[in-house]
Structure 1
Amino acid sequence: MSLETFQMIVTLLGGLAVFIYGMNLMSDGLQKAAGDKMRNILGMLTKNPVMGVLAGALVTAVLQSSSATTVMVIGFTSAGLMKLRQAISVIMGANIGTTITAQLIAFNIGDFAWIFVFIGFIMYFFFKKKEMAVKIGQILFGFGLLFVGINTMSSTMEPMAESPVFTEMIMKVADIPVLGVFVGLCMTLVVQSSSATIAVLQNLAMTAGPDGVTSIIGLTGAIPVLFGDNIGTTITALLASIGGSKNAKRTAISHTIFNISGTLLFIWFVPQIAELVTWLSPKGPEVEVISRQIANTHLLFNLTVTILWLPFIKVLEKIVTTIIPGKDEREDMVAGPVFLDTNVLEQPVFATHLAIQELTRNASLTFDMLKKSREAFAGGNLAMVNDVIETDKTVNIIRTKTIEYLSQILSAESITDFQKERVSALLHVASDIEHIGDYCKNIVELAEDKAKNKYVFSDIAKNEVDEYFNKIETMLVDTMESLETGSPELAEKVLAEEEKINAMENEIRQEHMHRLVDNECSPAVTVVFLDVIHNLERMGDSCNNIAEAVIKGYRAKKQSIAKGE
């Protein structure tokens, strides 16, 4: 290999690296600008397949990566937050959303790349006090670098096109569609980004052949490579599904089937597709318009395959269920997290959503502990003692893993200041939930002490304990719902309930003292009685802390919206 050839290859790879970096930087900027609004897209997924397709397209347009969207969807499916049918529709939308990058590249604005870089740099590095300006600056800076990478690749491909060996190799790809598909597949497997490989394809196609007029590969030669790129991008999802639930694997396989089926259907009509796209696209010399033609082919192909498959989502669901048979069941009492997925960490909005689901699940485990501790203490059912102690171990494990996960979210490059504040609050919530479990454990230990020493409570004392348990159970239910939904109204209700709990504790203490003076209660049971009331009151404090975190998050969100973040 000559030094000149080596330099061309290195420059080509360098241009590709700058392109990928610019695309990732732009994606991070878009995520920050979109902020928590992206979470609202989740609500669209429960409506119908069409809304799922739309949601998938929107998320992918922001993430600038269909692979990132499919990995996120696999995480949600594995956690049980998304049904298989919903996941399939979102992936169909992701295939449409990923065509945005090719459309951007097709706009021949490479001459203005450094202008975008300069303006974006100024806004990104010198407007630190204006958050939205920084986010827009990051988007422009990444957008400019994206085209700097494209320009670098273009300048490298021009002398490469003069090489007879390179020209002959490209001609083989253009003449044998199956070979083109294989090349596109391999390129995407190596780069792990169909957007990047399609950008390379667009630049190659804009390079003139030996005659200096027509494209070195032509549209009919580029289309099979484009099909291969589409298949290659599904590998990331397949890898992400390893170790996931059955529905996660089915989701990944549905993505592969979707893209392969489209290729198998349309590979026989490449000349006709090229003719149609040429008719639909702008006219002009081939090397000047072929980038737009490839972008339009990409959009037309993915849109058509989606329209063809959309009425048959149930069929596709049946196919993948046949390939991966059996029920997809999740155990609620597994000794560890269910919802957390590290593959989603680079999308803070969705990762935070998973963390909240895990925290809500952990809170529900403590609610189960509360009911069992009540059975043990008030009902004398000591069979519940071991159940509470074992569940407490699970609660502690989930708390530790969730805190680790939340800490990882904080290190994501695309996280916004509002999201940082929200995640920081959730770190405290994780500890408060774990404390509730500890108080339940304390109560069952008191139940054992009560049974061992045969302490007998007066009827009034029993009623007071029973009523206090009722108040705490209601409060914990409201707390869990406010945490899951982010409802400030429910959180305010919890705060009001906590004030009543505190007042009730003082009243119970005073009433017990009166009973002691009047010899209506035994002094021996005082410690146990007051301890159980105290532990219940501390649960109320923890619920209060969680409610305050919800309210704080709601206010921070309102401020974020007011600032236009």
Structure 2
Amino acid sequence: MRFRQLPLIFAMALLGWALLASPTLTEIAAGIAIFLFGMLILEQGFRTFTGGVLENLLKRSTDRLWKGLAFGALATTATQSSSLVSVITISFLSAGLLGLGQGIGVIFGANLGTTSGAWLMAGFGIRVNISAYAMPLLIFGVLLIFNRSRSLKGAGYVLAGIGFLFLGIHYMKEGFEAYQQGIDLARYAVGGVPGLFLYILIGMVATVVMQSSHATLILTITALSAGQIGYENALALSIGANVGTTITALIGAGGANIAGRRLAAAHVIFNVTTGLIALVFIQAFLGAVDTVSSWLGIASDNHTLKLALFHSLFNLTGIVIMVPFVNRLVELLETKMQPRPTTLDEPKFISETMLETPAAALEATRRELLRLFRRAFSLIAKVLNYETGQLRQPTSNAELAIEPRRIRVVDVDDRYRQQIKPLHGLILDYLARLPVQGHRARQLVMLRVAAQDLIEAVKDAKHLQKNMIPSLTANNRDLKAEYLAIRCNLGYLLHQLDRMAARAEAGDEDLDLELELADLDSEIEAGDIVHNGRLDDLIRQGRISAEQATSLMNDTAYGYRIAKNLLAMARATFLPFEQIDAELRQALELRPDEVRDILNEINGASGRQTGDSP
């Protein structure tokens, strides 16, 4: 048995003794457990719909900071899970689909959205016997969970999750009411500044233990409604819950890349700053709560609603104060948190945290394939005896046709094992573990095929090198010229693809991919000496021997396959899937004038046939 498990065993034993000693505590603890389980089930239900609604909304509603704030608040209110919204945001940020400033806006809004749970609990959960609603929700939810339909199964998880939440709240409320009859925990309340700091610490610890500030707030409101804690102590607990949730954010960002860790750091800065503001100006906030409560008609002794109002006010104040400094915060995080150099055998964009967010995971994999292309680009360039810097500069066919000054032989197998195979294996393993359906499954297949196309291009480059190196120094000028042409055509193709990849990485939405690739494809077809008849001319004119013709024909085929595989890879990876989908839809859609022309042609043809018939 490992020693690191001893604290857990000790804590479980201590909890077991406490539960045996106090049936009332057992009821409260069971309520907390059922509530947390309900949150997990509810989150699982909403995850069923990720890869669709939430991702599309996130991408469309974060081009402005205020939209990101609104999305974070509304999505958290709808899902009652700031962790789900945070995970999706971190995944999209890590995949490069969002900027850091946009992600910060969503996280700020999510913090405000978490206050909705306190309002629902204080305004509805305390006064209504919600256990009566829990049972039907659980029944219908479980029935739907056993359905084969993914959407119905997701809806079942959502219903069951809400049912468990209601049931957990019921048991917590019953437990605290039972405590009220036997033990008055309010007698142990600590007032003044010591009580403020003590209960802030308790709120932080409770949030870290339960991994949910939402659960801490619900537990606080339940205890407050039963009179087991005082109003001021409850306020301190809510501040502690806000600060404590930063620990869960840091834990959640542990498997993310540098972009996700920067967002987690922004989350910590916001929550700690907001908590300090609430702590320093707590008297001012209490006055504001009393004033706004009178405007809203909240009774002066309705401490549960006033707690919800306090929680909303200090989070809203934090947003108002922090929003003007978002750009400076982004600069600070990008300056202070630099990414560590990635090794050849580790990914830069994909991470385990994205597996539950298919859209972001596929986009991150596409970016990893761009990295793999860079490595294949360098290797094939060396096989062709080009410098990578030479192919990345503005150049022309004439410049690339110049004979290389020094010819080197590249150990393709060794470079493949060291530079390409490790990342390729990680990409394939990641795709194999990615749960996708529908059009996402088609996108996954596209990426897997693109990765294989890239590997095939590298393997063909290895075979091409065997005859190309001696032929570049051959005495036969015609043979040498043909190999120089193969080298030049592939070099120009690499140059063009590298330029397009750089624009794709920069997010150039004006990249006319299909048109540029079609032009390159036409040039490849025109340069095929087997099909254009040039090989036959060389043989008939006796300018190359039959043996040389066989080698040239094979190597031309290798060059042709390299080019075709690289173009196929580019079509699948150089544009985000959303742009590819949009272009496909646009290509399939007919404009109104095109529809009218087709109908006129059909009518005209029909009229001619009618006139010719007897």
Distance, in Å, in 2 between the alignment partners of 1:3 and 1:93 is 39
Distance, in Å, in 2 between the alignment partners of 1:343 and 1:6 is 40
1:300 to 2:313 alignment = yes
Deviation at 1:310, TM superposition (A): 0.6
Q: Which of residues 343, 356, 362 in structure 2 aligns to 1:346?
A: 356
1:239 to 2:251 alignment = yes
Quick one: which amino acid aligns to residue 137 of structure 1? Answer: G
| 1:155 matched residue in structure 2 | 174
| 1:310 matched residue in structure 2 | 323
Distance, in Å, in 2 between the alignment partners of 1:42 and 1:449 is 56
Deviation at 1:155, TM superposition (A): 1.9
| 1:220 matched residue in structure 2 | 232
Deviations 1:186-219 (A, max 9, x none): 0011111112222222222222x3xxxxxx3344
| 1:357 matched residue in structure 2 | 367
> How many percent identity over aligned positions?
22
TM-score normalized with structure 2 length: 0.73
Deviates more, 1:465-474 or 1:19-28: 465-474
Change (3 A) 1:329 1:171: closer
Q: Which of residues 163, 166, 180 in structure 1 aligns to 2:199?
A: 180
Distance, in Å, in 2 between the alignment partners of 1:89 and 1:187 is 27
| 1:544 matched residue in structure 2 | 568
Structure 2, unmatched stretches of 5+, are 1-16, 387-399, 586-614
Distance, in Å, in 1 between the alignment partners of 2:219 and 2:578 is 49
| 1:24 matched residue in structure 2 | 40
Change (3 A) 1:54 1:393: farther
Question: Retained in 1: the 8 A contact 2:257–2:349?
Answer: no
Deviation at 1:490, TM superposition (A): 4.1
Deviation at 1:340, TM superposition (A): 1.4
Distance, in Å, in 2 between the alignment partners of 1:62 and 1:31 is 13
Change (3 A) 1:280 1:399: farther
Question: Retained in 2: the 8 A contact 1:395–1:437?
Answer: no
Deviations 1:509-558 (A, max 9, x none): 74213312211234454455334432333231464377479699949x98
Quick one: which amino acid aligns to residue 488 of structure 2? Answer: D
Deviates more, 1:46-55 or 1:400-409: 46-55
Change (3 A) 1:46 1:22: closer
- For the aligned residues, what is the CA RMSD? 4.4
Question: Retained in 2: the 8 A contact 1:364–1:480?
Answer: no
Distance, in Å, in 1 between the alignment partners of 2:303 and 2:113 is 21
Deviation at 1:494, TM superposition (A): 5.0
Deviates more, 1:490-499 or 1:289-298: 490-499
Deviates more, 1:536-545 or 1:452-461: 452-461
Larger Rg: 2
| 1:431 matched residue in structure 2 | 452
Structure 1, unmatched stretches of 5+, are 210-215, 559-565
Distance, in Å, in 2 between the alignment partners of 1:90 and 1:385 is 49
Change (3 A) 1:285 1:122: farther
| 2:276 matched residue in structure 1 | 264
Deviations 1:257-315 (A, max 9, x none): 221222222223253254245335564695xx655444443333222211111112244
Question: Retained in 2: the 8 A contact 1:450–1:528?
Answer: no
| 1:168 matched residue in structure 2 | 187
Question: Retained in 2: the 8 A contact 1:187–1:229?
Answer: yes
Change (3 A) 1:392 1:62: farther
| 1:122 matched residue in structure 2 | 143
Question: Retained in 2: the 8 A contact 1:38–1:349?
Answer: no
| 2:602 matched residue in structure 1 | none
Distance, in Å, in 1 between the alignment partners of 2:314 and 2:338 is 32
| 1:563 matched residue in structure 2 | none
1:278 to 2:293 alignment = yes
Q: Which of residues 91, 99, 106 in structure 2 aligns to 1:90?
A: 106
Quick one: which amino acid aligns to residue 543 of structure 2? Answer: E
Distance, in Å, in 1 between the alignment partners of 2:267 and 2:329 is 10
SS of 2:430 mapped into structure 1: helix
Distance, in Å, in 2 between the alignment partners of 1:13 and 1:454 is 88
Deviation at 1:331, TM superposition (A): 5.2
Deviation at 1:464, TM superposition (A): 5.6
Question: Retained in 2: the 8 A contact 1:281–1:293?
Answer: no
Deviations 1:2-59 (A, max 9, x none): 7664443343333223222322322233343353344445646874433443444455
Question: Retained in 1: the 8 A contact 2:539–2:545?
Answer: yes
Question: Retained in 2: the 8 A contact 1:247–1:328?
Answer: no
| 1:562 matched residue in structure 2 | none
Change (3 A) 1:466 1:35: same
Deviations 1:359-395 (A, max 9, x none): 2332343334444444459744545836996377322
| 1:337 matched residue in structure 2 | 347
SS of 1:35 mapped into structure 2: coil
| 1:213 matched residue in structure 2 | none
Quick one: which amino acid aligns to residue 466 of structure 1? Answer: C
Distance, in Å, in 2 between the alignment partners of 1:244 and 1:548 is 25
SS of 1:355 mapped into structure 2: helix
Question: Retained in 1: the 8 A contact 2:172–2:222?
Answer: yes
| 1:515 matched residue in structure 2 | 538
